[in-house]
Amino acid sequence: MRTLRQILRRYVIALSVISIVIILGVTICLQIRSEQRHAYDIATQTLSQIGQVLNENDHAIAEANEAYRQECLNNASVIARVIEGDPDVINSVSSMKDLAFISGVDEIHIFDDTGRIFAGTHPQYYGYTFDSGEQMGFFKPMLEDKSLQLVQEITPNTAEGRMMQYSALWSRSGDIIVQVGMEPTRIMEDMEKTELSYLFSLFRVNPEASYFAIDVTSGRIVGSTNESDIGHPASDVGLDINDVESKPDGFSATVNGRRSFCVFQQVDDAYLGRTVSNADLYHRIPEITFSLFLCLTLVVGVLSAAISFCINRFVVEKINDINRELGHITLGNLTETVDVRSSREFSELTNHLNAMIKSLLNNSKKMSYVLAKTSLLIGVYEHNENRSQVVCSGYLPEVLNLTEEQLAELASDFDRFEQFIDGIRANPVPGEESIFLLSGEDGRQPGKYLKLGETAENNSVFGVVIDVTEAVTRRKQIERERDRDLLTGLYNRRGLDNKLAALFESPDKLGFSAFAMIDADDLKMVNDTYGHDKGDIYLKRVSEIIQDFGPHHSVAARQSGDEFVLFLYGYESKGELLGALEELAGMQDRTHAQLDEALEIPVRFSLGYSLTREDTDYCDSIKKADRLMYANKRERKGEIL
């Protein structure tokens, strides 16, 4: 018969192997579930952001399109009045082209009362009628009703298939129809930025992740990070439309030959989804599992050796004692300790068990806290009141921009370390929750954006510092590109509207204020004479003059190609404000632009301004300043002539 030592050893080994297998199996399942949940959270957050950007872009494009339609119709009306004042202009193609250039349009077509083109900027179109194509047929109802003023949606023109927007109206005499065409370059560029493939490229941080947009009705791919997939049925890349529709929490599929985890959400008339390959999603699991296996094997080996060594002396009784005390712990009494010290071996085992229990308890709390945060680079610190020194993780110096020596000096005294952390908390980032700015070396920017979290329990402080610089910087860059003019760095029209709306929510804080409309003179001359790159330098110089002007608060924006808006506010008196505006007017012909090392030219601009009050509609003030600016431009042109 086998000895008790042999029996116990056999059972210990068998139970140890079974325990290791179960723990590893459960751990792997939990890790897989955790990675899938993490992938789901990233996907839902990213897809929600994409959906929000799509809605915002659609709204902005709709507003821009409406403004462009009105501009097109206004241009047609202006050209009709010019022709009525000088009918002979329609007899000269060059005169018509000059009129088109001045009016800012690409094409002018003059129709007689039968709907036939007989004059305009493009002689090759003479003879075309409203029956010459579907695009031209849009304006045929005007032959029956001379009160109509029509603006066509952006559409390919009949002759060349070029994307154009046309508007048409009758002259006041009712003899001719004036039609103008404008190439909607700006709107088309804005529409390209709303394409799903473009948005996917902006949000694709992980190169192993792919994004798809599937049409709800047809089941075809309408957007993808892989443009070759666009236009194909979802099944061609391995996506089952039934899974897409019925499994919002995610599902597994073989996408483009790679087994992947997929998450889809419906946004309007499309399913937006993110897929990530299993190889990338679960790449950490084998390493973690192997490390856990080694740890478990080591623990089991130590326990087996200790039991084998002590079996002959008080084995059964002491094991029963240990089992009894461990039973209390198993039932949830984590404050229980093992106290069996009949020998050095049992004493060591007791110490190891107690240390392991404490470590497991602490690690459980720490892991739960850390996993609740983020997958970014993190630094961890811990302090217990029983010691003055702070325990820091290996990444903390990198996160806090400290050397190992600097961190070691700080960590030697918890009070000094807390003061350092409080110094970071003194620079919160506006609009961000628990995110603070860590200034660069010597206080110079840019620094780092850090997310801080701290918990205190059982006389212990545990903190996490996460470097979120990349995410915050990317988000701020997106906001800047949305609200800023790329050439000058000033606000664009959208950014100006947002800024003014915020300012005018508290009109009592504006003081005496005014809007100034500024138009860069001689821009066409600079472009024609020196090239458009020098024209850009000329515009930048005008923007610098505007941006640097104003002893008080000011908001500067580029309204359109060569038009700028300057809002001055915070003045204590009307006289002080008028003095500033007169100073600005005095700069109209007093500054220069350095186009290159050998070329410097005068900077001239036209100016109109309008004072505002607390109850003023700032849109009316801008319009008034715009009218005065054009009056100033006409006056200045007269002086030059």
Query: Residue 318 in contact with residue 340, Cβ under 8 Å?
Result: yes
Q: What percent of the chain has pLDDT over 90?
A: 13
Residue boundaries of the structural domains of the chain: 1-194+282-307, 195-281, 313-367, 373-472, 485-640
DSSP assigned state of 143: G
Decide yes or no: CATH 1.10.1030.10 for domain 485-640. Answer: no
Q: Is 331 a residue whose pLDDT tops 50? A: no
For residue range 187-231, list pLDDT tens digits in order: 555 555 455 555 565 555 567 788 888 888 888 988 887 878 888
On average, the pLDDT of the chain sits at 80
**Can you give the pLDDT at residue 207?**
74
Q: What is the mean pLDDT of residues 452-458?
A: 79
Domain covering 195-281, topology: Beta-Lactamase (3.30.450)
Q: Is 628 a residue whose pLDDT tops 90? A: yes
Q: When comparing pLDDT for 355 and 364, which is higher?
A: 355
Q: Is 142 a residue whose pLDDT tops 80? A: yes
**Can you give the pLDDT at residue 364?**
43
Instruction: Cite the beta strand spans of 370-434 per DSSP E.
Output: 378-384, 391-392
User: 641 pLDDT band (50/70/90 cuts)?
Assistant: very low
Q: Is 48 a residue whose pLDDT tops 90? A: no
What pTM does this model have? 0.35
User: 176 pLDDT band (50/70/90 cuts)?
Assistant: very high
Q: How far apart are CA 39 and CA 277, in angstroms?
A: 11
Q: When comparing pLDDT for 93 and 269, which is higher?
A: 93
Q: Is 333 a residue whose pLDDT tops 70? A: no
Q: Is 166 a residue whose pLDDT tops 70? A: yes
Q: Is 391 a residue whose pLDDT tops 90? A: no
Nearest to 450 by CA among 418, 476, 421: 421
Q: What is the mean pLDDT of residues 359-388?
A: 60
Decide yes or no: CATH 3.30.450 for domain 373-472. Answer: yes
Q: What percent of the chain has pLDDT over 70?
A: 80
Nearest to 492 by CA among 501, 483, 479, 502: 483
Q: Is 475 a residue whose pLDDT tops 70? A: yes
Lowest mean pLDDT among 39-43, 119-123, 440-444, 448-452: 440-444
Contacts of 612 (CB under 8 A, 6+ apart): 510, 513, 514, 515, 618, 621
How far is the CA of 175 from the CAs of 53, 143, 630, in angstroms? Answer: 48, 11, 31
For residue range 145-156, list pLDDT tens digits in order: 988 889 888 888
Q: Is 627 a residue whose pLDDT tops 90? A: yes
Q: What is the mean pLDDT of residues 142-171?
A: 85
Domain covering 1-194+282-307, topology: Beta-Lactamase (3.30.450)
Q: What is the mean pLDDT of residues 350-379?
A: 59
* Identity of residue 641: L
